Structure 1
Amino acid sequence: MGNPFPFVLADLRRSRAGALAIVLLVALAVGLGVAVSAQDRALREGSARAADRFDLLIGAPGSETQLVLSTVYLQPAAIELIDGAILADLAANPDVAEAAPIGFGDNWRGHPIVGTTAGFLAPGGASAPAEGRLFERIDEVVVGADVPLALGEEFEPAHGHVEMEDEEAHGFHQHVVGRMARQGTPWDRAIIAPIEAVWWVHSLPVGHALDEAALWPDGPHGEPALDLIPLGPPFDRAELPGVPAIVVTPASFAAAYQLRQEYRAADDTMAVFPAEVLVQLYALLGDVRDLVATISLLTQVLVIGAVLLAVLASLAQRRRLIGVLRALGASRPFVFATIWLNVALILTTGALLGLAVGYGGAFLVGRLFESRTALSLPIGLGVVELRLVLAIVLAGSVLAAIPAAFAYRGSVAQALRG
């Protein structure tokens, strides 16, 4: 009787229904902890990656969180505008490598149309979109990876009529000329247009002085010559309307903090590092995560305790088997190993299955979150989750010694009579 495994496997087959129930119970308890941990890490990594392109945001005084949510994650909200002259000041500031306006307020079939500059899409002379090219006219757009518009397609935005003063409305159609590579951010669902287009459809100045006679060659009732409207910087300070936000790329690390201090101290602006706002959000989410993690840990402790109590109770039913083993000459270590392996195998199987359950749960929640926000979450198992499962396995293995120690108590005669 040197190998206890045949006895353990035979016992598990005999009571397979009860063993399976315990394994599933352990798996669910462990899976909850694994899912919470993996989902929390994925949310942090995914949201931080989405904010990488936004070094410094400048907007009107108000909620820093809302400014970040609206600009970085394109969550719709009413945001106060800042004076367009601030954009001109930033463009002329030697501490600023790039200042890109961000404009909202229009959409096509639920896809937000975001106005900005070509420089924002290709910072520092970066490569063109994955397909096509960047916009070069006011009526051209670049679409995100998830926008169901093909290159060359024409569409009319929700606010596709331009009201000229004392004149009738003119239709405004936009043409898709490029598609951005997938970024795993809400911008994959966005239609990116020249900021001038957002101003144009809202009947605002377009940031440049225009030759009205050349723009309307057939008079105000004709079609405008849109190719004559210049795009991007340099802007005409006197022709700049308000903007919801400006994304600033500082010229240096020191310049970033200097600019933030300058525009935070002003009465009509606020400046935020999106990364700092995310840290604050993580702190708030961390309280909820810690609560759920604590509940998960308590659940795991209760489940392991319940398993051990169930095993102790089942020892009464196994007393005759244990008595037979002892009568056949089974040593104390053999009996101990038989019972210990029984409990340890159940807990270990449940913990490993819980690792898979937790990953699957986190993956499903991540896909649901992505379908609603377009923010891609990099779900994966890390050291924390593996350490959690290992801790459960080790704790269960140690606690399995309790029922194993009770198994050899009493005489052989008493065990056989049981």
Structure 2
Amino acid sequence: MFRFIAADLKRNLAGAAIVALIIALATALGVAVTLQERALRLGSARAASAFDLVIGAPGSETQLVLSSVFLQAAPLPLVPGTVLSGLARDPRVAWAAPIGFGDFAGDSPIVGTTAELVAGMGGVSEGQVFSKLGEALVGALADHKIGDAITPLHGRLGEGGHAHAEARYTVVGRLKPTGTPWDHAVLVPIEAVWAIHEHHDEDEEEHEGAEHHEEEEHEHHLDFSRPIDPAALSAPEAPGLPAILVKPKTFADAYKLRMEYRTDRTLAVFPGEVLTRLYGTLGDARRVLTAVAAGAQGLVAASILLVVVVHILQRRRQIGALRAFGAPRGVVFSIVFLETFAVIGVGVLAGFGLGWLAARSISSILTEESGIAMPVVFTAEDWLAALALLAATVVIAAIPSALAYRQSPAEALRG
């Protein structure tokens, strides 16, 4: 029987391959949607897990998290610098680190912060932590090497940005991998960011009101050779900050701090809470796409069933000949069932493979653009879905098999 099935499939190889490919593409659509949505959820959750609490000025909670945790540059209102000094003295806080951004090194965002954040993210894999204003750390996947000199750019050159020619950073260390956008970032002392932009503002004041101004490169440079002064962070005249990342000592402290800093002057959020709301939106989109994929699979299944039934009707004389030569009804049923199940089953399994490859490709592109590692993994839910599709295949394959089973050999031969 199996030799007969193999010979029959070989004779109709082109048609069987086309049917299997159509089924595979329809299955892959649903699988890719499910895997990609899960990868985005897992990747963003892991990226946010390193930061328990984010404090900034009142405004959009979503933008605060996207800018501070995922380094999606956007103008944020500034929280007073005195908030940082208050958090540093708070016994409920393990560490509090400011972040300031707006500058770039190529495509890598430059983030002004402190050594506390470096330690909180796992420390360095090589080199050392910055100790002077002109020193920088690079993320695990950044293109820069230890010893490289970096000239910060305000914004991106292709988007109207300009170079801070008066400033130079020297790379002194590399961060350990985190699987987050911080792997592509350049970390510098927050005091250096303040000094650069204060210097830039002074230059603009000098040229204000001039009738004619030619582009020139400043011959004087900022003094970045001096050591970092921790007292500058707690000084009353400390500049405002876009955001402060906070590590509470306990779970209870985190909720107390969040409640205490949700005022008309400050905003405190848990990144996980913001992501949960975003996941709700993603879930809605996933349900729509899953419904579209299910509809496509249903149409394909109906079309394949119609094709198989027509194919069986066209082979009535062959089936009648098998019966006339003494093949039992059960054998005829098994031949038709196994052929149909093999073609559709191969399409379903190939669809899971194609869906996985598609999700991996999309995740690779998104990881390259965002820096968020997105794991594409199958779960028990996916294997249950595969079993459900194979069970549906059994039902579909049984319909033409039943038609062949009930067929009378005499009528088939006469026809």
The question of a shared fold, defined as TM-score above 0.5 by the shorter chain, is answered with: yes
How far 1:231 moved relative to its partner?
Answer: 3.9
**Would you say 1:245 and 2:240 are equivalent positions?**
no
The answer to whether the 8 Å contact 1:57/1:271 transfers is: yes
Q: Which residue of 2 aligns with 1:8?
A: 5
How far 1:159 moved relative to its partner?
Answer: 5.0
The 5 Å alignment of 1:77-156 reads: 77-123=74-120, 128-156=123-151
How far 1:119 moved relative to its partner?
Answer: 0.9
How far 1:33 moved relative to its partner?
Answer: 1.3
User: Which of 34, 49, 52 is 2:49 aligned to?
Assistant: 52
* TM-score relative to the length of structure 1: 0.89
The 5 Å alignment of 1:331-346 reads: 331-346=328-343
Q: Which residue of 1 aligns with 2:195?
A: 200
Q: Which residue of 1 aligns with 2:234?
A: 236
* TM-score relative to the length of structure 2: 0.89
Partner letter of residue 143 of structure 1?
V
Q: String of CA shifts for 1:236-282, please: whole Å, max 9, x gaps.
A: 33131100000011121111111111111x10111100001001000
Distance 1:179 1:383 in 2: 38
- Unaligned 5+ runs, structure 2: 156-163, 200-218
Q: Which residue of 2 aligns with 1:314?
A: 311
Partner letter of residue 338 of structure 1?
I
Q: Which residue of 1 aligns with 2:366?
A: 369
How far 1:46 moved relative to its partner?
Answer: 0.7
User: Which of 182, 185, 188 is 1:190 aligned to?
Assistant: 185
**Would you say 1:300 and 2:297 are equivalent positions?**
yes
Partner letter of residue 135 of structure 1?
F
Q: String of CA shifts for 1:82-116, please: whole Å, max 9, x gaps.
A: 11111111111111111110101211222110011
The answer to whether the 8 Å contact 1:194/1:231 transfers is: no
With over 3 angstroms needed to count, the CA separation of the structure-2 counterparts of 1:326 and 1:260, relative to structure 1, is: same
The answer to whether the 8 Å contact 1:138/1:231 transfers is: no
Distance 1:53 1:117 in 2: 16
Distance 1:396 1:170 in 2: 67
Distance 1:407 1:249 in 2: 70
Percent of aligned pairs with the same amino acid: 46
Q: Which residue of 2 aligns with 1:263?
A: 261
Distance 2:152 2:401 in 1: 73
Distance 2:345 2:368 in 1: 35
Distance 1:41 1:128 in 2: 29
The answer to whether the 8 Å contact 1:118/1:232 transfers is: no
The answer to whether the 8 Å contact 2:26/2:296 transfers is: yes
With over 3 angstroms needed to count, the CA separation of the structure-2 counterparts of 1:228 and 1:305, relative to structure 1, is: same
Q: Which residue of 2 aligns with 1:218?
A: none
How far 1:417 moved relative to its partner?
Answer: 2.9
How far 1:358 moved relative to its partner?
Answer: 0.5
Partner letter of residue 89 of structure 2?
A
How far 1:127 moved relative to its partner?
Answer: 6.1
Distance 1:45 1:222 in 2: 48
User: Which of 386, 389, 404 is 2:386 aligned to?
Assistant: 389
With over 3 angstroms needed to count, the CA separation of the structure-2 counterparts of 1:75 and 1:170, relative to structure 1, is: closer
The answer to whether the 8 Å contact 2:130/2:136 transfers is: yes
The answer to whether the 8 Å contact 1:37/1:384 transfers is: no
Distance 1:18 1:31 in 2: 20
With over 3 angstroms needed to count, the CA separation of the structure-2 counterparts of 1:31 and 1:127, relative to structure 1, is: closer
Partner letter of residue 195 of structure 2?
W
The answer to whether the 8 Å contact 1:336/1:404 transfers is: yes
How far 1:155 moved relative to its partner?
Answer: 2.0
How far 1:223 moved relative to its partner?
Answer: 6.5
How far 1:380 moved relative to its partner?
Answer: 2.0
The 5 Å alignment of 1:7-46 reads: 7-46=4-43
Distance 2:224 2:405 in 1: 92
Partner letter of residue 201 of structure 1?
I
How far 1:230 moved relative to its partner?
Answer: 2.8
| Deviant stretches of 4+, over 3 Å | 221-229, 231-234
Partner letter of residue 42 of structure 2?
E
How far 1:225 moved relative to its partner?
Answer: 5.3
The answer to whether the 8 Å contact 1:136/1:231 transfers is: no
